[in-house]
Amino acid sequence: MAMKNLKATARAKSGKGAARELRRQGMIPAVIYGGGEAPQSISIDYNTAQKLIFAGHFLTTMFEIDVDGTKVRGLPRDYQMDPVKDFPIHIDFLRLKPGQKIKVEVPVHVLNQDACPGIKNGGTVNIVLHSIELNVPADDIPSSVDVDLTGVGLNHSIHISAIKLPQGCTPVDKDDFTVVTIVPPSGKDEEPAPAAAAAPAAPAKK
């Protein structure tokens, strides 16, 4: 997973009043927690945070947070939006330490559709799960779970046990769940409806 840089400033004050004052100054309050250390309150530039959140994949992006010159690796765990105006008002970061294992949602990517017999025969890809929750190394978070469709036919389901996961990663759910299926064209396997029986001819009148 690629790492992005983020500038932050340590903040001493907490509470709703201090948070409102920060927002008036064009900043967003945030906190970095976990990793066996005390939570650290920080503030982030509003425009920067808004762009990162609305760009997508914010909760699966790892950041190197520069807090007044001290760099901390963190993963966004949650963010709060204003219920009326829909702009970010607070962000939580999980502090990442080398060797630490964390749970994270990793997006599913489908590969080699051009080598999938099921698609060539008119089938379509049905992505049952667009992301999978994995236990992953904090210092090597994968950017995707890749599902290879080479040689996959119609009506075939690909389960998590058939997918090669990145090294050191294991699914949180221990069941052998379905990730992708190849769905046949509509009506492909349907039996033709039987023809309606002809009505008996009415007897001739004498």
Phi, psi angle pair for 16, to nearest 5°: -65, -40
Do 179 and 128 contact (CB within 8 A), yes or no?
Answer: yes
Instruction: Render the burial of 181-196: b for 16+ CB within 10 Å, e for the rest.
Output: bbbbeeeeeeeeeeee
Dist. CA 41–CA 48, nearest whole Å: 18
Range 101-183 has CATH code 2.170.120.20: yes
**pLDDT per residue of the chain (206 residues) written in tens, 0 to 9:** 668 999 999 987 777 788 888 888 999 999 999 988 999 999 999 999 999 999 888 888 889 999 999 999 999 999 999 888 888 999 999 999 888 889 988 999 999 999 999 999 999 999 999 999 999 998 788 889 999 999 999 999 999 999 999 889 999 999 999 999 999 987 655 444 444 444 455 555 54
Do 115 and 100 contact (CB within 8 A), yes or no?
Answer: no
Check residue 35 and give its pLDDT: 85
Dist. CA 158–CA 182, nearest whole Å: 9
Check residue 1 and give its pLDDT: 61
CATH architecture of 3-95: Beta Barrel (2.40)
Pair of tokens at residue 57:
């994949």
Is the pTM here over 0.85, yes or no?
A: no
Pair of tokens at residue 31:
């906190």
Task: Compute CA 156 distance to the chain's CA centroid, rounded to the nearest angstrom.
Answer: 24
Dist. CA 95–CA 34, nearest whole Å: 5
Give the closest residue to 141 by CA, choosing from 103, 95, 177, 91.
103
The full set of domain ranges for the chain reads 3-95, 101-183
